[in-house]
C-alpha cells in the first residue's frame, strides 16, 4: 500500500494542436496503472459555474465579449475551480491534472488580446489566492512549422496565414517567458517530438513527484 503525503498540481499548457489532450490521456493511463489518486479537469470549466462561464466565453452566439470582460470571466471560472475542485483534491492527497491554467490567460488575454501580461497575472493572483501548479508542462510548438507540417509540400503561406503565425508566435513566447521566469516549476518540451517521447519526458519528471515507492510498481 502506498501513502502519498500530499497531492500534486500539474497544469498542461500550449498552443492549439500542441498535443495536450494526447499527453493528458497518456499520463492519466499511467496514473491508473500505478493507482495514483488523481482528478482530471480543464479550464475554463471544471465546476458547474465554470462550465457555464465556458459556454459564455467560447460559444459564438453570446454577442461581443470585450477583452477585459473575457479576462475576468476566465479568472472567475478559475476562482471557482480552485476553491471547489483543485484545493479540495490536493488536500485529500490527490493529483490534479489540469488542461490549461493561469498561463493561458496571460498568453491569450494578456498578450493575445493585449491587456498586458502583468495586469492579467495580477487578476489571476487574486482569483487563485496565489495557488500555483507544482509543475506546468508547456508543449511548445513553432506555429509556422506546425502549419507547414499540416500542409505538406503545398504549404506556401499567404498573408493571412503569416499574420496568424505572428499571432500564435506571440502566444508561444508568452508561455516561454513564464517558464523562463520560474524554470523549477516548468517542463518545456518540443511538441514536434513523438507522443511517446513526450510522454517519457513527462513521466520522468512526474516520477520525482510521486515518491520512491510509486516509481517502481
Helix (H, G, I), strand (E, B) or coil at 110: helix
Shortest separation between residue 95's beta carbon and ligand TYD, angstroms: 19
Site for ligand TYD in 85-114 (CB under 6 A): 99-100, 104-105, 108-109
CA distance 89 to 34: 18
Query: Using CA atoms in the order 170, 174, 176, 178, what is the torsion angle rounded to 10 degrees?
Result: 170
Is 15 labelled as part of a ligand binding site?
yes
Dist. CA 182–CA 125, nearest whole Å: 16
**105 versus 136: smaller Cβ distance to ligand TYD:** 105
Residues touching ligand TYD, count (CB under 6 A): 11
- Grid cell at residue 215: 516509481
Please choose, from the candidates 24, 15, 17, the residue with its C-alpha nearest in 3D space to the C-alpha of residue 150. Answer: 17
110 annotated as ligand-binding:
no
Residue 16 touching ligand TYD (CB under 6 A): yes
- Residue window 41-70: x/- pattern of binding to ligand TYD, with contact defined by CB under 6 A: --xx-------------x------------
Q: Is 186 in the site for ligand TYD (CB under 6 A)?
A: no
Min separation Cβ 109 and ligand TYD, Å:
6
Does 16 appear as a known binding residue? yes
Confirm whether residue 20 is marked as ligand binding.
yes
Give the span between the Cα atoms of 3 and 26, in whole angstroms: 23
Nearest CA to 31 out of 213, 211, 210, 212 is that of 210
Binding site for ligand TYD (CB under 6 A): 16, 43-44, 58, 74, 99-100, 104-105, 108-109
Amino acid at each position: 500500500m502506498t501513502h502519498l503525503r500530499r497531492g500534486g498540481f500539474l497544469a498542461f499548457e500550449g498552443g492549439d494542436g500542441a498535443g495536450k489532450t494526447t499527453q493528458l490521456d497518456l499520463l492519466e493511463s499511467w496514473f491508473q496503472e500505478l493507482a495514483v489518486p488523481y482528478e482530471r479537469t480543464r479550464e475554463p470549466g471544471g465546476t458547474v459555474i465554470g462550465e457555464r462561464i465556458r459556454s459564455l466565453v467560447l460559444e459564438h452566439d453570446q454577442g461581443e465579449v470585450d477583452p477585459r470582460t473575457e479576462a475576468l470571466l476566465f479568472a472567475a471560472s478559475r476562482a471557482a475551480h480552485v476553491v471547489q475542485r483543485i484545493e479540495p483534491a490536493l488536500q485529500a492527497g490527490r493529483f490534479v491534472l489540469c488542461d490549461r491554467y493561469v498561463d493561458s490567460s496571460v498568453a491569450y488575454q494578456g498578450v493575445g488580446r493585449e491587456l498586458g501580461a502583468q495586469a492579467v497575472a495580477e487578476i489571476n493572483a487574486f482569483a487563485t489566492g496565489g495557488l500555483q501548479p507544482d509543475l506546468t508542462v508547456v508543449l511548445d510548438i513553432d506555429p509556422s512549422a506546425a502549419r507547414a507540417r499540416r500542409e505538406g509540400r503545398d504549404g506556401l503561406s499567404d498573408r493571412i496565414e503569416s499574420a496568424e503565425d505572428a499571432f500564435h508566435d506571440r502566444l508561444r513566447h508568452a508561455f516561454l517567458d513564464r517558464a523562463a521566469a520560474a524554470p523549477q516549476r516548468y517542463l518545456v518540451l518540443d511538441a514536434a517530438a513523438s507522443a511517446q517521447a513526450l510522454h517519457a519526458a513527462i513521466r520522468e519528471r512526474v516520477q520525482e513527484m510521486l515518491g520512491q515507492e510509486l516509481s517502481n510498481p
